[in-house]
Amino acid sequence: MRKIFMLCLAGALALAAASCKEDKKVVTLQTITVSGQMYEVKSAFYTENPAEEGGEAGFMLGLFPTVLTTIPEEEPSFYVGIEISESLCGKTIDLTKPIVKSGTLEPYLGIIASADGTTIEIDNSEGSIDISVQEADSPLTVTSGSLKVTKNGGDFSVKFFVNLSDGRYIAADWKGTAKKVEIPG
């Protein structure tokens, strides 16, 4: 009887172990990181960008570590923003390589991050990667990085990281609902 019990127990443990392997869960940290500072995302806003002048339609998403009811009028001291064309959504993008035109419209990708009064912008469009710090051109390069953004209405999933040649690191790991806003023109 003891042998039968041990065989049943071994079988149950094997079955439990096999079923646990299938239950892999993707953990989203709900954070943004800029230059070593990590904060939980507490507000998210997005705008729709219509297609114009040969460019694709897309959107801009802003992630903020503070609770906000509307997008700030002045640039906050800490945030991460992503501007991306629709054709790049759902794809894993290697941030070390320039985005290239694959159809009739020009895709675009921009990342902006601010921490401690320093703003870094990465413009990956028109076949080149341009980086500016405090709105001035910079010799910095992207040494590694990837980005994947998905959008379904106002629901987003963002996973990205980028390492710059001066050691700065920018990242976002967030999944949630963003509030749609209009930028006054």
CA-nearest of 78, 83, 75, 138 to 114 is: 78
What was the pLDDT predicted at 119? 94
Please state, in angstroms and rounded to a whole number, the distance separating the CA atoms of residues 63 and 6.
54
**Beta strands per DSSP E along the chain:** 31-34, 37-40, 43-49, 58-64, 79-85, 93-94, 108-115, 118-125, 128-133, 136-137, 142-152, 155-164, 169-177, 179-180
Task: Find out whether 56 and 106 touch, Cβ atoms under 8 Å.
Answer: yes
Residue 51 lies in a domain: yes
- Domain for residue 159, yes or no? yes
pLDDT at 157: 97
- CA 101 to mean position of chain CA atoms: 21
In a domain, 16, yes or no: no
Q: Looking at residue 3, what is its pLDDT?
A: 41
Residue 18 lies in a domain: no
In a domain, residue 8? The reply is no
Overall number of domains in the chain = 1
β pairing state of 31-34 and 179-180? unpaired
**Angle (nearest 5°) at CA 177 between 135 and 182:** 55
**Is residue 2 assigned to a domain?**
no
Do residues 143 and 164 make contact, with C-beta atoms less than 8 angstroms apart?
A: yes
Q: What is the pLDDT along the chain (185 residues), one digit of tens a residue?
A: 444 433 333 343 344 444 444 455 555 679 999 988 999 999 999 999 988 776 789 999 999 999 999 888 888 899 999 999 999 999 999 999 998 877 777 889 999 999 988 999 999 987 889 999 999 999 999 999 999 999 999 999 999 999 999 999 999 999 999 999 987 65
CA-nearest of 176, 171, 152, 151 to 160 is: 171
Which tokens go with 34? Answer: 């800029």
Q: Which domain holds residue 82?
A: 26-180
Give me the sheet containing 31-34, strands edge to edge. Answer: 37-40, 31-34, 169-177, 155-164, 142-152, 93-94
